[in-house]
Amino acid sequence: MAAEPAAPVFEPDAETMPAEPLAALQAERLQGLVSRLLAAGGVQGQRLKEAGISAGADVTLADLARLPVTTKRDLWESYPFGMLAVDRSQVVAVHGSSGTGGKPTLVSYTRGDLKLWARMCARALAAAGATSGSIVHNAYGYGLFTGGIGIHQGAIELGATVVPMSGGMTDRQVTLITDLRPDILTCTPSYAIRIGEALAAAGVTPGRGLSLRAGIFGAEPWTEQMRARLNELLGLRALDIYGLSEIIGPGVASECAAAADGLHVNEDHFLVETLDPATGQPAEDGTGGELVFTTVTKEALPLLRYRTGDVAALRRGSCECGRTLVKMSKITGRIDDMLVIRGVNVYPSEIERVLLGEDGLALDYLLVVDERAAQRQLIACCEVRSGWQFKLPLAGELQARLARALGLTVRVRLVPPGTVPRTEVGKARRIVHWTGGEPPLAGID
C-alpha cells in the first residue's frame, strides 16, 4: 500500500524532540526515578543501594546499563502490592495479565499514571491517522487486560468517538462496523482476521462499503506477511502497537501510518535498551536483543530496567512522519518461546513468515511440537483458504520451502478451513506441545 501523508502528531514537542534535549530530559527523569525508588525503600531501592547508589544525582544516562535489573519474578514475589512506590491509597486502578505462572501479573496506577497512559495511547491512535473526527471500533478485551481500557482512554484523550466493543460476539462486531462506519479498528491481529472473515461473509468488503482506514493491532506477535494479508482482507493500513502491563499497557511503542516500518518507542517516558540474550550485555542497534524498559515518569509502579523477555532490534534516525523517537522492529520472538528442534533454534515468527507467504493458505495455523518421542518434531498445521484447494502446491513444496528458510524439517499438514481453533477473546495460541494421548488437532498423526 502506498505511503500516506503524515497525520498530525499528538504531542509534537515530545515526539519530534531533537536528540540532545531528549537525552537531557531522559537523564533528569532517570535521576528523579532513582530518587523515588531509593525513598520508597522496596526491593529496587535496596538493589540500588547495594550497587553503591545513594542519590538520584549519582546517575547519568550512560550509567543505565550498569544499574540493577527487574524481572517478572520480582512482581510475583511482591504480589499484589509489594512494589508500590506510593501509598496504596493513591492507587486508583489495577490491571494485569494472566501470564503463564497461574497468578496474574498485577500492576497499579495512580491518577497520574492513567493520564500518562491515555496520552501514550492517544499518540498511537494519532500516529495511525486517527483524529478527533474518528470513530474507533475497539475490540480489545475490556477488564483486567490492558488492551480494551487502555485504547478506550486514549481515544477519549484524542477526542475521537470510541465504540467499546471488547472481544467476542463477532456478529455484533460486524453489525456495528457496518452501521457506525468506523475508520479505525483496534484488536489483536488474530481477532482482526476473524472480524475480516465475518465481514466478508456478510458481503462487506473493502470495495463494498467497508469504511476502515487503519488498524492498530498488537498484544501478540505478527509478521509482515500477516500485515500484507490484513491490509488486503480489511482494506486498511495494518499497524503494530506494542506494550505490556508491567510498563503501562498498550502505548509503549507504536507504528506511524507514514512509514509503517517499525514502532516508535515513547522513550521520553520509557527508556529502552536491548540486551544480547547470550551475554546480557547491550546489543548493537540493528541487532535483535531482549527489550528492557525503564519507566521514568510512572508513579505507582515505576520499574528500573525491566526485562521483558521480548526480542526486537532498535533503529535510530529520522522518520518521514517527523517523529524522532527511536524505532523498534516488530517483536521477532520471546526469549522463552524459542523452539529448539533437533538442535536448530527457531522462533514461531520465522515459520509464520514462510507459511503466510503462500497465497493458498488461510491466516490460521497451529504449530504442534510433537514431544511424544525423544527427538522432538515440529508439525505445522495450516488451513487452506476456502476456494483454493486445487491451486495449492503440495504440502511437500511448503516443507521444502521451510527446510530452505530454516534449515529444519517441519512436517506440514494441510487442514480444511475452520479446523484451527479460533481466539475471539484474549491472545491467539499458535503453539501447542503434544506430549501424548489424543492429537491436539483432528487429522494429524
Q: Provide the binding-site residues for ligand DLL, judged by CB under 6 A.
A: 97, 140, 145-147, 218-221, 240-245, 249-250, 308, 310, 331, 334
Nearest 5°: CA angle at 444, between 416 and 194?
Answer: 40
CB count in 10 Å sphere of residue 216:
30
Q: Given the complex with ligand DLL, which of 64 and 241 has the nearer CB atom?
A: 241
Do 270 and 298 form a contact (C-beta atoms < 8 A)? Answer: no
Across 245-326, the runs of DSSP E, i.e. the strands, are 249-255, 263-265, 270-275, 289-295, 306-312, 314-315
Q: Is 123 helix (H, G, I), strand (E, B) or coil?
A: helix
Cβ at position 382, least distance to ligand DLL in Å: 21
Residue at shortest CB range from ligand DLL: 218
8 A C-beta contact, residue 211 and residue 179: no
Min dist. Cβ of residue 308 to ligand DLL (A)? 5
For residues 218 and 289, which CB has a smaller minimum distance to ligand DLL in the complex?
Answer: 218
Nearest to ligand DLL of 31, 223 (CB atom) = 223
E strand or H helix that includes residue 368: strand 361-370
Least distance from ligand DLL to the Cβ atom of residue 208, Å: 29
**Cβ contacts of 298 within 8 Å, gap of 6 or more:** 113, 116, 247, 248, 269
Q: Please report, as a single letter, which amino acid is at residue 164.
A: P
In the bound state with ligand DLL, the residue whose beta carbon lies nearer, of 168 and 439, is 168
Q: Which is nearer to ligand DLL, 33 or 75 (CB)?
A: 75
What's the grid cell of residue 55?
542519590
Closer to ligand DLL at the Cβ: 58 or 424? 424
Q: Is the CB of 31 or the CB of 308 nearer to ligand DLL?
A: 308
Whole-number minimum distance, CB 435 to ligand DLL, in Å? 24
Question: What phi and psi, each to the nearest 5 degrees, are found at residue 232?
Answer: -70, -45
Q: How near is the Cβ of 5 to ligand DLL at its closest, in Å? A: 25
Q: Helix H segments across 159-265?
A: 170-180, 189-201, 224-234
13 Cβ contact list (under 8 Å, min separation 6): none
- Closest approach, Cβ 344 to ligand DLL, in A, equals 22
Nearest distance from residue 330's CB to ligand DLL, in Å? 6
